[in-house]
Amino acid sequence: MEKLRHTNQQIKRRKTIKKIKVYIIMALHTRMNAKAIISQIMKQANGIGISKSNVRRNSKLKGQNGHTKSAYAHSIKSLQNLRAVTTQYIEFLKAKHGQKITQNINAGSAREWLLLKADEISGGALNTYISALAKSFDNCSKLGLNVSGKDITDIRKELKKKGMNLRKRHYNRAYENPYKIISNMQLSSLYYISAKLQLEAGLRLDDAINSNKWQINDDNSITILGSKNGLCYSTKKLSDKTIRQLKLAKESGYYAPKNAYVKDLKAAGADKRGTHGLRYNFAQERYEELRKEGMGHIEALAQVSIDMGHSRVEITRHYLVGLYSMGGLA
């Protein structure tokens, strides 16, 4: 009995200490200026060098699609976007509430700011702002503020009811003559095989430049090890010639520095569509090939999605936008 009473006292003591810590954190935060608040949020959100797939695997946070998500920004670009959106929101609070910024970081002020932004930017851009601010709120909760990303994402429903299209507009980025680019690369670049892989197998940039990610299979497909979000998947079957080239490249430990490869691709005729344009070409050519073989639209779309290592068919649809405009999809 005495032991149980002692245990209960310990639990109460821990809870009291935890409450005191929260009060101290809140007191400190209420004294922070705008710059310090932004700095603290970004410090919490910095996920450079942290595995996104590992974080998502162990995360309790969920997005609107029901999938687990990470509160970190894992790339320099996403970190820059997060800082830009967070800074604009905090500056909005500062202009309206002076130094009482932390007290006004909540769903109400976020909604007010986002509705103002809705009059200034496109629906696709606004959707990006919502995602970034939700991530910012997830990191505010780590700092002891009683907010979460869900407070932000719920505004999407309200905006959609008002008729706002939050989808990003997708353009056809396929090259008119991708084989000319490949031919020019073969004549002038050490990194020709990367371009060939992007066009013939639909590989992502990071997967096409690193032979350590290629597992060459007996059926002439290649399995990509550790692609986006840690995914492993197999490509379509490639020609004997391409497989021979890949084996030679892999034996030599082939690796193309990203900037050097992109520079050579531009010199070979690529434009602002960049390396990703070759993936668009692959998707459209592969879809048409499968349809000619007798596959229906849904079946062909699903197979292209598998071939490209996509987790959702909806992503693959974006790559086929050129076929929609030409009436090639049924």
Q: Is residue 303 scored above 70 in pLDDT? A: yes
Give the mean pLDDT of 269-296: 96
Q: In Å, how far are 217, 299, 315, 322 from 310, measured between CA atoms? A: 20, 15, 7, 19
Give the pLDDT score at 16.
54
Q: Which residue has the tokens 């090639």?
A: 328
| Residue 151: partners with Cβ closer than 8 Å, 6 or more residues away | 106, 107, 110, 134, 137
Strand partners, 234: 223
Overall CATH class of domain 178-325: mainly alpha
pLDDT for residue 26 is more than 70:
no
Give tens-digit pLDDT for 244-258.
999 999 999 999 999
Q: pLDDT band at residue 24, thresholds of 50, 70 and 90?
A: very low
pLDDT for the residue 23: 42
Angle between helices 107-118 and 123-142 (to 10 degrees): 160
223: β partners: 215, 234
Retrieve residue 8's tokens.
Answer: 């209960």
- Overall average pLDDT of the 70-95 stretch: 92
**Mean pLDDT (whole number) for 288-300:** 95
Whole-angstrom Cα distance, residue 304 to residue 290?
9
pLDDT in tens, 152-200: 888 888 888 877 777 766 789 999 999 999 999 999 999 999 999 999 9
Q: What is the C-alpha R_g of the chain?
A: 25
pLDDT over 90 percentage in the chain = 61
CA distance readout (Å), 148 to 67, 136, 152, 284, 298: 16, 9, 8, 40, 37
pLDDT tens for 110-149 read: 999 998 888 788 788 888 999 999 999 999 887 788 898 8
Question: How much is the mean pLDDT over the chain?
Answer: 87
In tens, the pLDDT along 38-67 reads: 999 999 999 999 988 888 888 888 877 778
Quick one: average pLDDT of 283-302? 95
- Let me know: does 165 contact 123? Beta carbons within 8 Å: yes
CA triple 225-229-234, angle to 5 deg: 35
pLDDT score at 88: 93
Over residues 1-22, mean pLDDT: 54
User: Which two structure tokens, joined as six digits, stand for 146?
Assistant: 């009683």
Q: What is the 3-state secondary structure (H, E, C) of the chain?
A: CHHHHHHHHHHHHHHHHHHHHHHHHHHHHHCCCHHHHHHHHHHHHECCCCCHHHHHHHCCCECCCCCECCCCECCHHHHHHHHHHHHHHHHHHHHHHCCCCHHHCCHHHHHHHHHHHHCCCCHHHHHHHHHHHHHHHHHHHHCCCCCCCHHHHCHHHHHHHCCCCCCCCCCCCCCCCHHHHHHHHHHHCCCHHHHHHHHHHCCCHHHHCEHHHEEECCCCCEEECCCHHHCCEECCCCCHHHHHHHHHHHHCCCECCHHHHHHHHHHCCCCCCCCHHHHHHHHHHHHHHHHHCCCCHHHHHHHHHHHCCCCCHHHHHHHCHHHHHCCCCC
Question: For the residues 291-301, what does the mean pLDDT come to?
Answer: 95
Q: What are the domain boundaries of the chain? A: 32-161, 178-325
Q: What predicted TM-score, i.e. pTM, was given to this entire model? A: 0.60
Q: DSSP assignment of 243-285, as one string?
A: HHHHHHHHHTT-B--HHHHHHHHHHTT--TTTTHHHHHHHHHH
